[in-house]
């Protein structure tokens, strides 16, 4: 699985951004090949210098599908809307996505270790 990750930096008019967010979602939810999405509001930074207030992830089966979705008419419209909403205060990247369930992870811990 692959995902398009959108990091939104702190914005001068956050209320306007949140008002316009549903319009952006309507565009991205029409992307071809989209499997699911997730939104996270950053509440606390623990380490590092990244400036991020909002993270949105769009999941696709393959990297090619993610790239194709971004190149589609819907993807281009969503990109324009996002640029307008943020004034360019964002970072986008594509990433391979893997996840595992805790029960499976714990199976491989040596006996005597917490959870093992």
**Which pLDDT tens digit goes with each residue over 60-105?**
999 999 999 999 999 999 999 999 999 999 999 999 998 878 887 7
On average, the pLDDT of the chain sits at 93
**What are the residues facing 90 on neighbouring strands?**
8
pLDDT for 15: 94
Question: In the CATH scheme, what is the code of domain 2-106?
Answer: 3.30.70.100
Task: Name which residue leads in pLDDT, 48 or 69.
Answer: 69
Ramachandran region, residue 105 (left: φ > 0; alpha: ψ -120 to 50; beta: rest): alpha
pLDDT at 39 over 80: yes
**Helix (H/G/I), strand (E/B), else coil: 96:** strand
pLDDT for 79: 97
- pLDDT cut 70: percent of the chain above it: 96
Quote the tokens at residue 115: 């959870």
- pLDDT cut 90: percent of the chain above it: 79
Quote the tokens at residue 108: 């491989």
pLDDT for 116: 57
Q: Rounded distance, CA 93 to CA 5, Å? A: 5
Contact call for residues 71 and 31 (beta carbons, < 8 A): no
Q: Rounded distance, CA 78 to CA 95, Å? A: 19
Q: Rounded distance, CA 59 to CA 26, Å? A: 16
């Amino acid at each position: 699985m692959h995902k398009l990750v959108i990091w939104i930096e702190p914005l001068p008019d956050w209320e306007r951004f949140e008002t316009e967010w549903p319009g952006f979602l309507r565009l991205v939810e029409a992307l071809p090949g989209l499997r699911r999405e997730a939104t996270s509001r950053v509440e606390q930074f623990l380490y590092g210098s990244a400036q991020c207030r909002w993270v949105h992830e769009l999941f696709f089966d393959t990297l090619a599908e993610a790239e194709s979705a971004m190149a589609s008419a819907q993807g281009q419209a969503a990109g324009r809307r996002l640029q307008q909403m943020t004034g360019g205060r964002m970072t986008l990247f594509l990433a391979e996505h893997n996840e595992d369930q805790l029960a499976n992870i714990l199976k491989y811990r040596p006996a005597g270790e917490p959870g093992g």
